Amino acid sequence: MTDLEKIEDKYPQLKFWGIEVNNKHYHGHIEGTDVYINLLQPDIDWLKSALHETVHYDFDCEKDLSNNRNISVRRSEKWAVKESEREYEKMFGRKKKAE
């Protein structure tokens, strides 16, 4: 089982989709129960993006996070980054750096 499959198994209610977005700043997003991961990012980024989006699913599912200038959106994003890093450590035991 791949690391990404472990995340998919932990969240069977979500559908994970690989898409190609030619933008170095786009990593992924969630819409309802669909999680979109940018396949043009490094493999390790897929895992981190998938976990980041599952945090949004668990805690921000009713929020509109599209306005990144909004302070509450920025707080949600910062918190999701930290929480997904903790979850990554718990699931995989070590930090992997993007290449």
Q: How far apart are CA 80 and CA 72, in angstroms?
A: 12
Determine contact, residues 61/7, Cβ cutoff 8 Å: no
Beta strands in the chain (DSSP E): 15-19, 28-31, 34-38
- pTM as predicted: 0.82
Number of H helices, E strands in the chain: 3, 3
Mean pLDDT calculated for residue range 8-14: 96
Q: What is the pLDDT of residue 60?
A: 76
Task: Please give the mean pLDDT across all residues of the chain.
Answer: 88
* Residue 96's pLDDT band (cuts 50, 70, 90): low
Q: What is the pLDDT of residue 36?
A: 96
For the chain, domains (ranges, CATH) are 3-92 (3.30.2010)
